[in-house]
Amino acid sequence: MERMIRRLLLLAPALWLGLSAAATDAQVVRTGPSACKAIALTFDLCPVRNGRGYDEPLIKTLMEQRIPATFFLSGRWIDRHEAEVRALQAVPFFEIGTHGQAHAHLPQLDEAGQRAEIADAVHLLKTQYGIEAPLFRPPYGEFNDVTVDLVRALGLRFILWDRISGDPDPRLSRAQIAERLIAQARNGNIIVFHANGKGAHTKDVVEDLYRELVVAKGFRPVTVTQLLDQCQGEPPHARRQPDH
């Protein structure tokens, strides 16, 4: 009996660490329901040093095809793109989340620094645009336990992804990106792209995915919130029938 108790005490730290990791993982959303034949296309809007910082041809394609999309805006990007924020806000099948204030490496900040990085962009959208933005994606996908606790305390949903487009990588061609995402497509995918002009092939890849996954294979394009909370009923991208 004594030996069993000693063994349990030795195992306790490992068991606690495993439970802690599982609890953290449950609070970080990487994918949608596997029973839902839908995919969420998400686009980060990180600050850029050169260029306009806004992929207008991509946005035009999404609007013309009525493809729901979720955008994660950084505070610095918001500060420099008032007209673009309002353009995204005006599209009923787009939703807006946040991507940190200055696109900082969160694990390198203390708790106060992380809180400011997370909350400032949310506050900015609320006060200047009246946008409620309950979705948060950490810059670079980096976080620690402090990040997770703060996101929960601020009433936000922590959104990552389960498919990486790699669209900013100049070494990847349109075909390489599209073929990999099409081959890996699964129910509930959350795919990360960029809409700040860093993806040379982003618009073309989205068109490929729409043709191959939505039209040919029947996946529904949805926002992240629809993927997590609804994922039923008429596809939100369905075109209206002309009046007669």
What is the domain-level CATH number for residue 178? Answer: 3.20.20.370
Find the largest Cα–Cα distance for the chain.
83
Structure tokens at 144: 């620690």
pLDDT at position 234:
42
Residues comprising the chain, all counted:
244
Pairing type for strands 94-98 and 157-159 reads unpaired
Within a domain: 57: yes
In eight-state DSSP terms, residue 140 is: G
Q: Is the pLDDT of residue 161 over 50?
A: yes
pLDDT at position 26:
56
Within a domain: 5: no
CA nearest 187: which of 69, 37, 31? 37
pLDDT at position 231:
82
pLDDT at position 25:
55
pLDDT range class, residue 49, cuts 50, 70, 90: confident
Place of tokens 């620690």: 144
Task: Quote the mean pLDDT of the chain.
Answer: 88
**Rounded Cα–Cα distance for residues 3 and 11 (Å):** 12
Of 93 and 18, the structure prediction assigns the larger pLDDT to 93
Within a domain: 120: yes
| pLDDT, average across residues 162-170 | 97
pLDDT at position 244:
32
Within a domain: 8: no
**Rounded Cα–Cα distance for residues 91 and 118 (Å):** 25
**Rounded Cα–Cα distance for residues 139 and 109 (Å):** 13
* Domain ranges, residue 147: 21-229
pLDDT digits (tens, 9 = 90+) for 14-40: 333 333 344 445 599 999 999 999 999
**Rounded Cα–Cα distance for residues 72 and 44 (Å):** 5
Within a domain: 11: no
How distant, in Å, are the alpha carbons of 29, 52, 104 from that of 148? 11, 32, 16
**Rounded Cα–Cα distance for residues 95 and 85 (Å):** 11
Within a domain: 162: yes
Within a domain: 239: no
Place of tokens 């009246």: 130
CA nearest 167: which of 190, 199, 191? 199
pLDDT digits (tens, 9 = 90+) for 200-230: 999 999 999 999 999 999 999 999 999 999 9
**Which among 25-29, 48-52, 102-106 has the top mean pLDDT?**
102-106
| pLDDT, average across residues 152-170 | 97
pLDDT at position 50:
84
Exposure class string for 133-145: b at 16+ Cβ within 10 A, else e: bebbbbbeeebee
* Among the ranges given (21-25, 136-140, 148-152), the one the predictor scored with the smallest mean pLDDT: 21-25
Overall number of domains in the chain: 1
CA nearest 69: which of 237, 181, 197, 228? 237
